[in-house]
Structure 1
């Protein structure tokens, strides 16, 4: 039986828990349904991707490439692919990555950067085709949905690759001219790379151009007998001498003088549009807080018992606006103290407790107390905490709805408009990240990578919602606990956003830092948007006065109260528990005699140590039981003329049949 007691509350604040839960669920869905985790993990840790598996439906007889390198560092490419379909297929899919990580050596030093290239002007001769941008790749799907073919078929694909200049004192050219994730061996291939268009006033040392055959992630000079390279005056021709195996590629690379490609566009980030949008959203959250900020006017009074006879469940709901496990456990202890049930500790190594009904609950008790009591004893007058009725969750749900129903109208705790504005502001506070990330992604990668945008946005929003829930507990948590809880979630928000920006090529430090700062500032204003009603102010002041008394009362004062009411310790105990002051309250009775209560039974010694142990084990068992109730992947590359360490170069990609 599954039960989440935090979802059994009325009012607006449960929406925060719902938002957090939905965000986390959708985040898991994104991770499962897309390749976002593979891409992020690959960018962060350079983790090797799984090798491609052979497509048994076709063979690749030839894969020829004719490439013209332009003065603007573009490459006009024509691919001629001759395949033999062994089984009926519609056609082929060609995938070309537009982003990746480059790791290389220059002057003996290891360097790492990220590249982006644009793919445009895609055309396929004499075949139907469709082009889409997907997860950082250009995907060309060739063939007719309604027609399957067998035997030999030749495909001709043309497209332009736009590479970018780099921020170094040299220029680089590196490109994988054969796809390392092609799903069959390539029996024959001829690759011709012509530099005539790229040369104006400068000359190119064709002899200095390296051509390498190898696997992604390694270059093995022993495999050079797989290719034959012919260098002309301004061109390089590469031919396979043996079939190219799976997960292999052919890379052309060279290092060139700075500004060799005079007209090459620079890959640079302009984060300011995204930052400006994020700043506007942050200021909007600040404005909402200023307009709907709390007007508490709360006066803390001295109270030695629960004001107006409030039950623990009522007190817990008023003090933090939620109905949760602590409130329910305190209420059960309260019902026991009133004589409706007994609590018996069972013997044994794994001792637990059972609840024994002693009488029917009075009609004068509140609806939520009746619902809770009836739910406990659905199957008889005795129930073990290990065997709560399966229907108990429904009764707990009804109790939560009943406690919320009591706090409407004059007894409502918060202005409905302020509560809704708070939820709106919480959602808005995740938008600065999304604005900055989307702008940075579009500027640097030519596209917005929506899976990562969604994942980062959802995780950020979920954590902000949890921050709000944490803030709502400030009256029943210590300041240290409150600050630690908020701090952990703020650190996690920063980590999520750093990992997201890590994916973007040439990411700007100012973009990432601004995104994190604006998100945290906006969220801290958003979670503090509250406007308690006069009733909430009055009752909260009295409850906090009662809490202060439990925490700070002198022993002599307590002795006088015990003399007046020998059961005073037990009447206060449920409230001390929901206030998080159980140990402090018990400790005050080290020198005060506690009269044995009628609602506790079992072979136990009743002393101060027992009560401390009892509350610890009882609440642990109760909380334990209630909580139990409750893809085409981018290939990446290195740079020409350098010592490649773990990547090969731009281009490459993969493909197969469909």
Structure 2
């Protein structure tokens, strides 16, 4: 169909001869043609039958002035702008733009900005968002491509070269929109010229090639609008439909921030889309990882039923750290201060309270660290490596130690003790199978792989570059691996993951899971700017990517849950665990008569058991049972009256609270989430027309400027 305004002259001549009635009839037919095809009053007689080719060459009348009258604030105008769009069956557009610029001042070149996110806004008031992927960007001049904030920025030109006068640029790119968002139908709604150009544009022409022949109904729905954003102006477009192609041109100039938009309604299902198997890959990897975790747990982590036996003492030959290992499956930083009363009971050190010795009050009055000191009685002579390390590091500065002497290097001693206990201790080797390192490594690889594939495939499918998707995938994989370590309760020692925490309570484990969700939310929120600049991560955060991420997070937490219970006890480990369970039960339920009998047999019984009550989390219950039991002062407290039958229980509680406070805070260097505060000593806690659109209302478009 060719529209030709020159036919007006012929029409006027005939109307003069046929009179007023003929004039009215002709105008009526002309108006009908305009309304039918959404075009100005230049309609051809036959929409599909005319085979004449429309002349798209630039018109001198539409070339912007180069003398400044058309507004040259940015030092250039566009003499012509041709857009060629090939629409594919999967709603992907192969776009080629050719624009002839005229520079009135020296510039390096042009910047073309293409939006990848936005909103379709239609004449009927409906709207829907779109998210496109721009790939295969090419230009006929030196150029660079940047992606950020939902836009692709093509910078054409050379910083070392200036241009002046006429210069023609050609760019091409693939614009992938994915699934059509219009309900009940499909559509082609595209901004041929965006509303963000900052100059005058003349001689706008276009060619649109659809994947199928254009039907009469589709031709009737075809419409063009021009003007500022939201303009519904029509009647300025000459166009021709032939087969599956629409050719045309805009018969006016576009001023700064004016655009040119086309819309055509298509039948539902017009576009067909290839199946995206990457989501199935993520789900498959997640299910496989969970399946492997369950199998590993069933084989290596499903402990046999333990027989609990009543015990009045801990297992023979076990110190407090050994009991922590046998019960929890690991030794934590919060367990280390228990070595103070344990080694004091063994006769290696004494505790001095300057205020008590001078007749003062409770040790916490006047400051914890001010009054308490420790004195070595003898050098360590035993064979336990952790005890040797503790004595060596604790008294590194001399035989008398204050809290201030521990600052700086004592945490290194504690780290070394943790390494020894969790990696090399004899108790660990005897009580637990040694497959957990390999199992943890395999499961963490699954976590990292699931997370990486989820982010990489999601971002790549939404339009991020391969490099940016790859780097973002690695970052998220590292974050998710850390979350798995946190939830599983693995101890971080010198960068090594060791041992699960089989003794962690279910509420504590659930808190770890909940806190991991909070952690992830904070991480993604705090990292928004970084990730956006890196890969446009949040610009691509659509349903597909969000679903992949949720699958990865869910799989990570489930796998970590099974990792938590993974260490499996040996036969001897079952026996020792049963004895410790019985011992712990006794500490919680022992009656006064039985305790009195044990104190009569061993006056230091209460103090001998204190280190073990700490690591088993029952110190408060244990101490409360001795409020009314007469017992002497501990043998390791200097200056105490050991003959005092009414030993002050409350003094001892506050004293040990101060001691543990000092030692713990001198040793702690791990994050709060990896260690538990001792807190209170007795707490026991450690853990045509418009076509239905308007100017700027479609996808694509954007704008540009000079630089």
TM-score scaled by length of structure 1? 0.69
Partner of 1:319: 327
For the Cα contact (< 8 Å) 1:100–1:115, is it kept in 2? yes
Alignment deviations for residues 337-387 of structure 1 (CA, whole Å, 9 cap, x no partner): 334131534652576663321423232353322321222222234433244
**Are the counterparts in 1 of residues 226 and 261 from structure 2 also a CA contact under 8 Å?**
yes
What does residue 350 of structure 2 align with? 341
Is 2:664 aligned against 1:623? yes
- Pair 1:462 & 2:478 matched: no
Gaps of 5+ in 1: 1-57, 214-218, 243-248, 631-638
- 2:315 equivalent in structure 1: 307
- Counterpart in 1 of 2:442? 424
Offset at residue 565 of structure 1 (A): 1.6
CA contact (8 A) 1:254 1:641 kept: no
Partner of 1:330: 338
Greater Cα radius of gyration, structure 1 or 2: 2
1:287–1:405 Cα change, 3 Å: closer
Match of 1:113 among 118, 129, 138: 129
- 1:382-401 to structure 2, matched below 5 A, reads 382-401=400-419
- Partner of residue 173, structure 1: 189
Alpha-carbon RMSD across the aligned residues, in angstroms, is: 4.8
Q: What CA distance in whole angstroms lies between the structure 2 residues aligned with 1:597 and 1:459?
A: 48
Whether contact under 8 Å (1:211, 1:229) holds in the other structure is: no
User: Which residue of 1 is the match for residue 119 of structure 2?
Assistant: 102
- Which consecutive residues of structure 2, in runs of 5 or more, have no partner in the other structure? 1-72, 240-247, 354-362, 492-498, 529-536, 672-689
Q: Map of 1:80-229 to 2, 5 A cutoff?
A: 80=99, 82=101, 96=114, 99-102=116-119, 113-120=129-136, 122-125=137-140, 127-128=141-142, 148-152=160-164, 155-164=169-178, 165-170=180-185, 171=187, 173-175=189-191, 177-178=193-194, 186-190=198-202, 192=204, 194=206, 197=209, 200-201=215-216, 202-203=218-219, 209=225, 211-213=227-229
Q: CA deviation at 1:401?
A: 4.2
- State whether structure 2 residue 666 is matched by structure 1 residue 652: no
Do residues 485 (structure 1) and 485 (structure 2) align?
Answer: no
**Cα–Cα, structure 1 residues 451 and 87, in superposed 2: closer, same or farther, change >3 Å?**
farther
- Over 3 Å counting, the alpha-carbon distance change for 1:392 and 1:310 in structure 2 is same
Alignment size in residue pairs = 563
Q: 1:372 to 1:62 in 2, by over 3 A?
A: farther
Residue of structure 2 equivalent to 1:216: none
**Secondary structure at the counterpart of residue 203 of structure 1:** helix
CA distance in 2, matches of 1:353, 1:420: 48
Taking a change above 3 Å as real, the CA distance of residues 284 and 404 of structure 1, as seen in their structure-2 partners, is: closer
Give how far 1:268 is off: 7.6
5 Å matches for 1:383-532? 383-403=401-421, 407-408=425-426, 411-445=429-463, 449-469=469-489, 476-489=503-516, 503-507=540-544, 514-532=551-569
Greater RCO, CA 8 A, separation 6+: 1
- The separation in 2 between residues aligned to 1:163 and 1:539, in whole angstroms, is 64
Q: Describe the SS at the equivalent of 2:489.
A: helix
2:574 is aligned with 1:565: no
Q: SS at the partner of 2:316?
A: helix
CA deviations on 1:312-350 (whole Å, 9 max, x unpaired) are 122223333433322211112322333413153465257
Decide whether aligned partners of structure 1 residues 135 and 447 sit closer, same or farther in structure 2, where only a CA change above 3 A counts.
farther
Shift of 1:622: 3.4
User: Relative to structure 1, is the Cα distance of residues 596 and 376 closer, same or farther in structure 2, using a 3 angstrom cutoff?
Assistant: same
Alignment of 1:279-298 (within 5 A): 279-296=287-304, 298=306
Using the TM superposition, give the Cα deviation of residue 158 of structure 1 relative to its aligned residue in structure 2, in angstroms. Answer: 2.9
Q: Is the 8 A contact 2:321 2:336 kept in 1?
A: yes
Q: Are 2:540 and 1:540 aligned?
A: no
Partners in 2 of 1:398 and 1:436 — Cα distance? Answer: 38
Q: Following the alignment from structure 1 to structure 2, what is the Cα–Cα distance between the partners of residues 358 and 107? A: 87
Post-superposition CA distance 1:561-600 (Å, at most 9, x none):
1121222221111111111212111122222234322444
- Can you list the C-alpha shifts for 1:70-125, whole angstroms capped at 9, x where unaligned? 45463633143759799997x7776645x43538688667x6534224444x4322
C-alpha distance after superposition, 1:232-291 (max 9, x if no partner): 45544774545xxxxxx655556653439x854559865334323433333333333334
